[in-house]
Structure 1
Amino acid sequence: MTVTAPPARLISDRLAHWASELPDTPALRYQGTDLTWSQWYERCERLAGALGALGVGRGSVVATYDKNSPACLDLTLTASGIGAAHAIPNWRLSAEEVAYVLNDSGAEVVFVGAEFMKTFDSIRDQLPAVREVVVLGTDGDVEDQFDALVAAATPAPITGAEPSDTALILYTSGTTGFPKGAMITHSNMVAHSEALSDYFQIGHEHRYLLAMPMFHVGGTSPGIGCVYVGAPITITREATPEHLMSGLPGATHAFFVPAIFAALLQAGEVGAKALSQLQLLCYGAAPMPAPVLRASLATWPNARFLQVYGMTELSGAVVALDDEAHRNPDHPERQSAAGVAMRGTELQVVDPATLEPVPANTPGEVWVRGGTVMAGYLNKPEATADTIRPDGWLRTGDVGHLDDDGFLFISDRVKDMIITGGENVYCPEVERILAEHPDVLEVAVIGIPDDQWGESVKAVVVPKPGATVDPGGVISYARERLAHFKAPRTVDVVSELPRNGAGKILKTVLRQPYWEGRDRQV
């Protein structure tokens, strides 16, 4: 069954369209509960009424601090449709970091998962802009308030936004030690959904497994893309083996970070069987280690493999490596490529010093231009100007090259950043915390290879005179102050850090022993 749809201005437009054209067709599944398109749209209209009663309208900001749930996607579609922006903090962040994100976003109404209420209560007095709190789900003595709020509301139209309005505020780790909110507009997400549909090839007869966290473009963006094409969605609470196994029945398409493939392969026959019915296996957010990719292609030979490359600032994916490229015996080197530019995206590689384009097969910084480039960083005009040039090109901070056929290969990073399990970690952010450790004189944070997570965080520290540094203590110190994925997994204690003539720490020297013999340094 194929039903065409009119052009969309807003990300909520297609929800209304499918509710009209396919009212009784399955749309959304979560923990055993199913909704049709008409039921989902009716719930979002009630949510629009509830938000209006709470004083939310064009220019407002609401936030969801929770793991995956239908409410998060409801709020993305509905709040943005009435002209508000939806901020989604990373629930893995420390309480201090969550407080920063909520204050920076300007959120007035916050929807908090019941299991996070204790953490939220600990920072409540630090959030002067928050005037309403709504509990999502039930956890112990904390009772859900969302369902009652929606049920009691008078339905309202999901209108009021313009395509240039910010629909989502998704936060990335910050180069200066604080997260940055990427402002993603309706136009950005519509452009992304159109381009993604070329590669996902998903429709009403399929089902997408939304397992990646919705604070990440790898979670939210494909979810919006499925609404765009009218594909049913199964949402899992998180991407743990237990939740994945419960969400996989009936699914035909899924997106995972490489670490999940590695874990399933390690599970043997059980892991292989878990994905055996999927027609599309998409991966991204971090490089796939070559042994894991080869084993995955052999374990799931009937699935279409798709790698996507992108970033929060690009609303999701802008480069794709399709199944044919994965399996082309004439070009085995393309298995290590990021892919080719998706529809509506321009790529160029430039010399970081001169900012001039370089010839094919010459490394440089990767720049991207197109309809998915974010509007900018919230409250950070200088950071926006450093990232997006006046002519629209976005500087990714990745080092790579384009071959003669337009395939992009990523080899290193200009930015001092690590990607571990799909999460971005900026080294200065971790260094800022570790520099406060009472026994640490100097610290450098680097990324080292990790066969499961792609990279892991390592700290190299110099003790203060007369002090003794306990590596385990440094790790615990970081975990108390940062999200655990940002904390170092290992710590080396050295007498001094290598420096150049100007006194700058030579991280290339620190990283070299770990990356020696590898084709790329990320």
Structure 2
Amino acid sequence: MSDLAEPTFLDERTAHWAKTKPDDEAITFKDRTWTWSQWDERIRRLAGALSERGVGRGDVVAFLDKNHPACVETTLAAASLGAATAIINFRLAADELDYVLNDCGAKVLIVGAELKSSVEKIRDKLTSVELVVEVTPDGREGDEYEAMLADATPMGRSEDVEPDDVAIIMYSSGTTGRPKGVSLTQANLIAHTVSAFDGWELEDGDKNLVAMPLFHVGGSSYMQLGLHTGVSSYMTRDVDGAQLAGGILSGANRTFLVPAVLAKVLESGDDAVKLFSALKTYGYGASPMPLPLLRKALEAWPDTDFIQAYGLTEVGGVISLLAPEDHRSGDEERMGSAGRVVPGAEVRVVDPDSLEDVEQGEQGELWFRTKQLMKGYHNKPDATKEAVTEDGWFRTGDIGRVDEDGYIFVEDRLKDMIISGGENIYSIEVERVIAEHPAVAEVAVIGVPDEKWGESVKAVVSLEGEATEKEIIAFARERLAAYKCPRTVDIVEELPRNPTGKILKKDLRQPHWEAAGRKV
């Protein structure tokens, strides 16, 4: 690895490993395993198949399924043609699904067999989709995706492809009530892989456990580590105990998961704790790790390196890391930080009103500048301009401070956002749906502490008719992905407001967070 040049394009490393160690294991999924030469051949065949179907530079291919190696194959094959892969959250409700598929402008849609019926219901609304290809979890007979690869002529990278071509579009909840597509280029993703895994000292025989959903940067960006280093990956279809155990029993010893998974393992008893002791590295992020949980984990797995990642989709995933030695330093204040910026990144703490840097140690909005930063929000130049300054600083919407040693502390949010189980949920998106209920006069959605998920969604409503908590939750579930829906609803006479009429969400949140002893 030390004498291997940094790649320029995403498909370079798979081609390299196919040439230098063709018969070594590249990836295992369910009961199928592919070597590097076999996997590179599949990627080249898919590139040929997509090209034959009119996909070229600037086009978009959408992928909608639970975790599947075909998603990674699509990402690399499309990128080699200069096209982007929009990786769609399979948990979206129907009206969310048709919005993102139309917004991304996908020409081809690859969809899992389990989700095909959802696409068929909205097929007539998908204005840009010319072809739908079904993929099955096990590649069984009749799998349209496998048949497409078998019939294709392998194709190399197109000559007109540039590193700045968008390779992945990921949709995050939107501040305006609709999701925004984050456009990440090949150069962004490569820069992230090089910087975000600094300190992950992989060795021969290591194996990555890829379990986070691929529609999330914690899944797709983490998958790039194995591709980059030539380490084999074991991919699970879902994040559940049996599949995680299967990965570890097969030799997986490096992983990245959300803290909620770790909490569940600790609750599962001595056998589960012993099994997870095989992990050399446990990376975690996407939501805060409560200090009591972290203490238990450090005690349960004394030989495991814990690495906390703080980041955002807009920077490809990780922008700062809390290193293994910081976890075991005994400095609990530092253990509560988000660590220090990854190599090549810069951080500023800015007063959100004056836009001037604050004094060291004082609170302000966290801004980052990095080669990992997205090309922009897909089809949303105004939103991009609001988020990224002319000189390349990304405004995160997170409030924090940086101490004298460069450790970042994330302490509040400027954006009206909830992070539940690693998923970003914008309150306004949920409010938009609940406000449509005929009995709801006003609604405010807030995040409240949750021991398992970090935060959970609560709606506070005033009514102009008859409705119960269960009815409002059910109404939301018909129109939103389940993870975005409120778990609880408080019905009040009126919502608190300031003199100008703005709803005081801070007052609604305060009693819940005071009792939890933290801010976010």
* TM-score normalised per structure 1: 0.97
- Tell me which residue corresponds to 1:190: 190
- Tell me which residue corresponds to 2:71: 72
| Distance of 2:505 and 2:141 partners within structure 1 | 47
- Tell me which residue corresponds to 1:377: 377
- Tell me which residue corresponds to 1:81: 80
Structure 1 residues 273 and 386: alpha-carbon distance in aligned structure 2, compared to 1, 3 A threshold: same
The Cα of 1:409 is off from its aligned counterpart by 0.5
SS at match of 1:516: helix
Q: Which moved more, 1:385-394 or 1:285-294?
A: 285-294
- Tell me which residue corresponds to 2:208: 208
Judge conservation of contact 1:361–1:401 (CA < 8 Å) in 2. Answer: yes
The Cα of 1:468 is off from its aligned counterpart by 2.8
Judge conservation of contact 1:62–1:110 (CA < 8 Å) in 2. Answer: yes
The Cα of 1:520 is off from its aligned counterpart by 3.5
State how 1:263-412 maps to structure 2 within 5 Å. Answer: 263-329=264-330, 331-412=331-412
Judge conservation of contact 1:308–1:321 (CA < 8 Å) in 2. Answer: yes
Q: Deviations over 1:453-503 (max 9, x none)?
A: 000000000011xx2330011111101100000000000000011100110
| Distance of 1:139 and 1:489 partners within structure 2 | 35
- Tell me which residue corresponds to 1:17: 16
The Cα of 1:361 is off from its aligned counterpart by 1.4
Judge conservation of contact 1:65–1:111 (CA < 8 Å) in 2. Answer: yes
The Cα of 1:519 is off from its aligned counterpart by 5.4
- Tell me which residue corresponds to 1:34: 33
SS at match of 1:11: coil
Q: Deviations over 1:41-69 (max 9, x none)?
A: 11111111111111111111101000001
| Distance of 1:518 and 1:449 partners within structure 2 | 7
Structure 1 residues 244 and 138: alpha-carbon distance in aligned structure 2, compared to 1, 3 A threshold: closer
| Distance of 2:123 and 2:134 partners within structure 1 | 14
The Cα of 1:297 is off from its aligned counterpart by 1.0
Judge conservation of contact 1:196–1:225 (CA < 8 Å) in 2. Answer: no
2:91 equivalent to 1:92: yes
* 1:99 partner letter: D
User: What are the ranges of 5 or more consecutive residues in structure 1 without an aligned counterpart?
Assistant: none
SS at match of 2:158: coil
Q: Deviations over 1:51-103 (max 9, x none)?
A: 11111111111010000011001011111121110001100110111111110
| Distance of 2:503 and 2:34 partners within structure 1 | 55
The Cα of 1:142 is off from its aligned counterpart by 10
| Distance of 1:345 and 1:139 partners within structure 2 | 41
| Distance of 2:468 and 2:140 partners within structure 1 | 40
Q: Deviations over 1:259-283 (max 9, x none)?
A: 1011111112132123110100000
Judge conservation of contact 1:211–1:236 (CA < 8 Å) in 2. Answer: yes
Judge conservation of contact 1:114–1:143 (CA < 8 Å) in 2. Answer: no
Q: Deviations over 1:131-159 (max 9, x none)?
A: 00110106999942111110111111133
Structure 1 residues 204 and 84: alpha-carbon distance in aligned structure 2, compared to 1, 3 A threshold: farther
Q: Deviations over 1:85-137 (max 9, x none)?
A: 00011001101111111100010100000000111101101001100011010
Judge conservation of contact 1:174–1:180 (CA < 8 Å) in 2. Answer: yes
User: What are the ranges of 5 or more consecutive residues in structure 2 without an aligned counterpart?
Assistant: none
* 1:165 partner letter: D
| Distance of 1:60 and 1:140 partners within structure 2 | 26
* 2:495 partner letter: L
| Distance of 1:139 and 1:280 partners within structure 2 | 29
The Cα of 1:241 is off from its aligned counterpart by 1.6
The Cα of 1:32 is off from its aligned counterpart by 2.3
Judge conservation of contact 1:192–1:225 (CA < 8 Å) in 2. Answer: no
Structure 1 residues 66 and 115: alpha-carbon distance in aligned structure 2, compared to 1, 3 A threshold: same
| Distance of 2:99 and 2:328 partners within structure 1 | 45
| Distance of 1:273 and 1:73 partners within structure 2 | 31
| Distance of 1:405 and 1:138 partners within structure 2 | 48
| Distance of 1:304 and 1:44 partners within structure 2 | 33
| Distance of 1:107 and 1:204 partners within structure 2 | 39
| Distance of 1:212 and 1:429 partners within structure 2 | 24
Q: Deviations over 1:371-416 (max 9, x none)?
A: 0010000010110011000010000010110011100000110000
Judge conservation of contact 1:367–1:394 (CA < 8 Å) in 2. Answer: yes
SS at match of 1:35: strand
| Distance of 2:275 and 2:107 partners within structure 1 | 41
State how 1:346-495 maps to structure 2 within 5 Å. Answer: 346-464=346-464, 467-495=465-493
The Cα of 1:240 is off from its aligned counterpart by 1.5
State how 1:133-172 maps to structure 2 within 5 Å. Answer: 133-137=132-136, 143-160=142-159, 161-172=161-172
| Distance of 1:278 and 1:365 partners within structure 2 | 35
Structure 1 residues 434 and 140: alpha-carbon distance in aligned structure 2, compared to 1, 3 A threshold: farther
Judge conservation of contact 2:449–2:516 (CA < 8 Å) in 1. Answer: no
Q: Which moved more, 1:195-204 or 1:454-463?
A: 195-204
Judge conservation of contact 1:75–1:86 (CA < 8 Å) in 2. Answer: yes
Structure 1 residues 519 and 351: alpha-carbon distance in aligned structure 2, compared to 1, 3 A threshold: farther
Structure 1 residues 123 and 204: alpha-carbon distance in aligned structure 2, compared to 1, 3 A threshold: farther
State how 1:92-131 maps to structure 2 within 5 Å. Answer: 92-131=91-130
Q: Deviations over 1:281-332 (max 9, x none)?
A: 0000011112211111111111000000101001110100011101112x22
Judge conservation of contact 2:420–2:455 (CA < 8 Å) in 1. Answer: yes
| Distance of 1:470 and 1:30 partners within structure 2 | 44
- Tell me which residue corresponds to 1:260: 261
Q: Deviations over 1:145-188 (max 9, x none)?
A: 11111011111113342100000001100111111000000110
| Distance of 1:318 and 1:507 partners within structure 2 | 29
- Tell me which residue corresponds to 2:496: 498
Judge conservation of contact 1:5–1:17 (CA < 8 Å) in 2. Answer: no
Q: Deviations over 1:193-243 (max 9, x none)?
A: 101231322254211000000000000001112211211111110111222
| Distance of 1:67 and 1:34 partners within structure 2 | 18
RMSD between aligned residues: 1.5
Identity %: 48
Judge conservation of contact 1:68–1:235 (CA < 8 Å) in 2. Answer: yes
* 1:111 partner letter: I
2:52 equivalent to 1:53: yes
Aligned length: 518
- Tell me which residue corresponds to 1:513: 511
* 2:372 partner letter: T
| Distance of 2:6 and 2:286 partners within structure 1 | 29
Judge conservation of contact 1:213–1:219 (CA < 8 Å) in 2. Answer: yes
Q: Which moved more, 1:505-514 or 1:358-367?
A: 358-367
* 1:513 partner letter: P
* 2:301 partner letter: W
- Tell me which residue corresponds to 2:252: 251
